[in-house]
Amino acid sequence: MDKLTGLAAFVRTAQTQSFVAAGRLLGLSASAVGKSVARLEQRLGVRLFQRSTRRIRLTDEGTRFYERCRHILDDIDQAEAMLSHATEAPRGRLRVSVITVGYRFLMPILPEFMQRYPEVELDLDFDDRIVDVIDDGLDAVIRSGDLPDSRLMARRLGSFHAMLCASPDYLQRQGTPQHPRELERHACLQFRNHTSGKLQKWMLRADPGESEPHLPTTMICNNIEAMLTATINGLGIAYLPNFLVRDAIASGTVVSVLDSYMIQHGEFWVLWPSNRQMPPKLRVFVDFICARLFCEDP
C-alpha cells in the first residue's frame, strides 16, 4: 500500500508540478506528499524531480518513470470503474446506427431486450450512409464489410450470403436459368449502391475459360426493400441477401435460382468506440445481440 501511495504522490506531483496541488488532489498535506516522493526516490535510488524554490520539474529518469506509473494508476482506476459498472444497472439512451434493411433481423429480438433492460432507451438510426461512430456521437453501429477504423472495437454478429431470386410466376413465364449465361436473356433487377453510386456486382462462379455474363438492366433501384417487392411481383430476377428473402422463400412467393453458382458471403459486425470503460447499457446490448442475432444457419 505504501508503494501505491508513493506512486500516486509522484504521478500527481508530476502532473501538477506542485506538492501543494498534488496534496489537494490526494487529500494530503504538501509535506506528506513531499515525504512520500522522497521515500520513493530513496527506494529507487534515483532523483525523480529537480527542485527549486520556485518550481519542481521531472528529471529524465523521472519522465520515463512517470509514463509507466501513469499507465499503472490508469489501469487501477479502470479496474475499479469496471467493478463499479458491474454492479450498476444498465440505463440511459443508447444511440445505434444500423443499415436500413437491418430492421429485418434486429427488430424481432428487441422486445426481449427491452423487457430485460427497461431503463435502456434505444435510439435507432436506420441508414446506409457512412458514419463516424465517434464524431457522430454514436454508441454503436451495425455494419458489414471491412473494419478499417482502428479507433473502434468490434464483435462479429454473424454471416450472410447473396441469393438470386425470382417469383414462381416469372419463372413459369420466362423459364428457370440453369447457367449464369442464361441470365443474359432474363429481366435483371439491379441495385444501385448509396455510397458509390455504382450498380452492385453479381458475384457468380464462372466456369474455366468463361467470361462474366452481360446482365441486361431491366430496372435500377436504390432501395433493397423495393427490389424485393419488385421480385415478388414478378418483374425479374434480383440479387438479394438471404436474411431479406428468408420469409418470402418460406412462404413460396419467391424461389432461388443458380444456388451452386453463388459465391458472395459477408459478415455483420457491431462496432463501438474503443474507450477503456464500456458503459453497462452498451455492454448488455452488445452481449445480447451477439447471442441472439444470426444464431441459426443462414
Residue 45: give its domain's CATH number: 1.10.10.10
- At residue 298, the pLDDT reads 40
Distance CA 222, CA 188 (A): 14
Distance CA 144, CA 102 (A): 10
Q: What is the pTM of this model?
A: 0.63
CB neighbour list of residue 214: distance below 8 Å, 6 or more residues apart: 184
Q: Which phi and psi angles does 245 have, rounded to 5°? A: -100, 0
- At residue 21, the pLDDT reads 85
- At residue 70, the pLDDT reads 84
CATH assignment at residue 155: 3.40.190.290
- At residue 171, the pLDDT reads 96
- At residue 172, the pLDDT reads 96
Q: Please check whether residues 100 and 192 belong to one and the same domain.
A: yes
- At residue 237, the pLDDT reads 97
Q: Please check whether residues 249 and 177 belong to one and the same domain.
A: yes
Q: Please check whether residues 16 and 143 belong to one and the same domain.
A: no
Domain boundary among 58, 86, 114: 86
Provide the number of structural domains found in the chain: 2
Which structural domain range is residue 99 located in? 92-298
Q: Which residues of the chain have pLDDT under 50?
A: 297-298
- At residue 132, the pLDDT reads 79
- At residue 146, the pLDDT reads 65
- At residue 279, the pLDDT reads 86
Q: Please check whether residues 43 and 145 belong to one and the same domain.
A: no
Q: Please check whether residues 156 and 108 belong to one and the same domain.
A: yes
Q: Please check whether residues 287 and 165 belong to one and the same domain.
A: yes
Domain boundary among 45, 68, 86: 86
Q: Please check whether residues 21 and 152 belong to one and the same domain.
A: no
Q: Please check whether residues 100 and 116 belong to one and the same domain.
A: yes
- At residue 81, the pLDDT reads 65
Q: Which phi and psi angles does 202 have, rounded to 5°? A: -85, 110
Q: Please check whether residues 274 and 222 belong to one and the same domain.
A: yes
Distance CA 288, CA 159 (A): 17
Q: Please check whether residues 72 and 184 belong to one and the same domain.
A: no
Q: Please check whether residues 37 and 174 belong to one and the same domain.
A: no
